[in-house]
């Protein structure tokens, strides 16, 4: 195991963020976690008197992000690992879902994560070390009806992560996009925002999908504690991956998507090549 590190994790009140924070503390690391209220702040800091620090933060507030990161690095110490975990899922047929809902989905899942990265990068670059982990989703590779805004946000975060990783590699900074499959968190439960149904043409397609997702909430195959331990493994690695899938369902579904994409590229290869000079 590598020496103790300081982790900054967004969204530590539940789900992956809470599990990772607890496992990191148990492993001897120091954890700064973001929460949304004083009660959650007290509960988090009670996890460890010396190594658990909570900060009130809305990750859509860019100015506050910069202030909190500067304060943490000044008062607690250098941030070795940023984990962009805070986010939520929006469910709704694209035609039925408002652009306001899309903007909020991207404000949290993309712009908030990007602002966090920009805030920690100067310090990491100066120290020539650091690791950024962005929690994306298998929905950053595959798609399914009813989560267009969510998949769009995770596709965006995957692309940003991969590009940033190439930009900061010369400075000894690693970037990993961690894409979980279905886990027993609140993603499909109380954390999910659902657009009301309005267009009957989509009933046959989407009503069974929505019903199945609600029924499976809390019964998914993935264990958040095991996901946290997997993330600690890559944090301890000198050569962490640029992409990491978590869960056997993510593995099989993404492989199916890549195989289908490869077949489609092959099928249209002649037309693709026909546009050259």
Looking up tokens 């996901």, which residue turns up?
227
Please state the φ and ψ torsions of residue 273, each to the nearest 5 degrees. -70, -20
Question: Which of 225, 267, 233 lies closest to 17 in space, CA to CA?
Answer: 225
Is 202 annotated in the active site?
A: no
DSSP line for 96-130: TS-HHHHHHHHIIIIIIHHHHHHHHHHHHHHHT-E
| Six-digit token string for 52 | 């658990």
Of 88, 141, 150, 202, catalytic: 150
Decide: helix, strand or coil at residue 262: helix
Q: Rounded to an integer, what distance in angstroms lies between the CA atom of residue 253 and that of residue 101?
A: 27
Q: Which residues are catalytic?
A: 150
């Amino acid at each position: 195991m590598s020496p103790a590190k300081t982790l900054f994790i967004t969204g530590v009140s539940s789900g992956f963020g809470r599990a990772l924070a607890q496992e990191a503390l148990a492993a001897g690391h120091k954890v700064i976690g973001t929460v949304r209220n004083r009660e959650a702040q007290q509960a988090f800091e009670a996890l460890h008197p010396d190594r658990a620090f909570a900060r009130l933060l809305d990750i859509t507030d860019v100015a506050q992000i910069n202030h909190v990161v500067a304060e943490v690095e000044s008062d607690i110490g250098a941030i070795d690992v940023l984990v962009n975990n805070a986010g939520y899922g929006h469910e709704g047929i694209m035609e039925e879902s408002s652009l306001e809902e899309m903007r909020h989905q991207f404000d949290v899942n993309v712009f908030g994560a990007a602002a966090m990265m920009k805030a920690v990068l100067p310090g990491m670059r100066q120290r020539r070390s650091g690791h950024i982990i962005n929690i994306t989703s298998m929905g950053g590779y595959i798609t399914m009806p009813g989560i267009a805004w969510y998949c769009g946000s995770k596709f965006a975060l995957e692309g940003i992560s991969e590009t940033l990783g190439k930009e900061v590699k010369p400075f000894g900074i690693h970037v990993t996009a961690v894409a979980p499959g279905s886990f027993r968190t609140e993603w499909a439960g109380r954390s999910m925002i659902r657009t009301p149904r309005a267009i009957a043409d989509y009933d046959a397609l989407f009503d069974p999908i929505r019903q199945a997702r609600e029924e499976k909430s809390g019964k998914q195959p993935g264990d958040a504690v095991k996901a946290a331990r997997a993330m600690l493994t890559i944090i301890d690695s000198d050569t962490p991956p640029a992409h990491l899938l978590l869960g056997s369902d993510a593995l099989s579904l993404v492989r199916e998507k890549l195989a289908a994409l490869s077949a489609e590229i092959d099928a249209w290869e002649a037309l693709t090549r026909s546009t050259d000079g």
